[in-house]
Amino acid sequence: MPDEQKQTPPVPQDQSSRREVFGKLGLGCMLAAGAGSLAFGYEFLSPNVLYEPSPITNAGKPDQYPVGSVTTNAEAGIYIVHGPEGFYALSATCTHLGCRTAWAPELGLIACPCHGSRFNQAGVKVAGPAPNPLPWLRVSISDEGDLIVDRSAVVPPRQFLRT
Ligand code: FES
Q: Is the CB of 96 under 6 A from ligand 1?
A: yes
Q: Are residues 60 and 83 in the same domain?
A: yes
CA–centroid distance, 32 to ligand 1, in Å, is 52
Q: Are residues 62 and 114 in the same domain?
A: yes
Mean pLDDT confidence for 116-140: 97
Q: Return the number of other C-beta atoms located less than 10 Å from residue 150's C-beta.
A: 16
pLDDT above 70 as % of the chain: 90
Per-residue pLDDT, 15: 64
Using pLDDT thresholds of 50, 70 and 90, give the confidence band for residue 9. low
More confident position, 37 or 15: 37
Per-residue pLDDT, 50: 79
Q: Domain containing 149 — which CATH number? A: 2.102.10.10
- Does residue 162 fall inside a structural domain? no
Per-residue pLDDT, 12: 59
In the predicted model, is pLDDT for residue 24 greater than 60?
yes
Three-state SS annotation for the chain:
CHHHHHCCCCCCHHHHHHHHHHHHHHHHHHHHHHHHHHHHHHHHHCCCCCCCCCCEEEEECHHHCCCCEEEEECCCCEEEEEECCEEEEEECECCCCCCECEEECCCCEEECCCCCCEECCCCCEEECCCCCCCCEEEEEECCCCCEEEEEEEEECCCCCECC
Per-residue pLDDT, 52: 82
Are 150 and 54 in contact by the 8 Å Cβ rule? The answer is no
Using pLDDT thresholds of 50, 70 and 90, give the confidence band for residue 17. confident
Q: Are residues 42 and 99 in the same domain?
A: no
Per-residue pLDDT, 44: 85
- Does residue 163 fall inside a structural domain? no
- Does residue 62 fall inside a structural domain? yes
Are 115 and 128 in contact by the 8 Å Cβ rule? The answer is yes
Q: Are residues 39 and 69 in the same domain?
A: no
- Does residue 2 fall inside a structural domain? no
Q: Are residues 106 and 28 in the same domain?
A: no
CA–centroid distance, 93 to ligand 1, in Å, is 9
Q: Is the CB of 112 under 6 A from ligand 1?
A: yes
Q: Are residues 23 and 89 in the same domain?
A: no
pLDDT in tens, 60-99: 999 999 999 999 999 999 999 999 999 999 999 999 999 9
Per-residue pLDDT, 1: 46
Residues of the domain holding 22 = 12-51
In the predicted model, is pLDDT for residue 126 greater than 80?
yes
Q: Are residues 100 and 150 in the same domain?
A: yes
CA–centroid distance, 97 to ligand 1, in Å, is 5
Count the domains in the chain. 2
Q: Is the CB of 130 under 6 A from ligand 1?
A: yes
Per-residue pLDDT, 48: 80
Q: Is the CB of 97 under 6 A from ligand 1?
A: yes
More confident position, 5 or 144: 144
Are 56 and 42 in contact by the 8 Å Cβ rule? The answer is no
Indicate the top mutation candidate among 101, 109, 115, 119 to test ligand 1's pocket, ranked by most ligand atoms within 8 A of CB: 115
Q: Which atom, in ligand 1's list, is nearest to the CA of 129?
A: 3
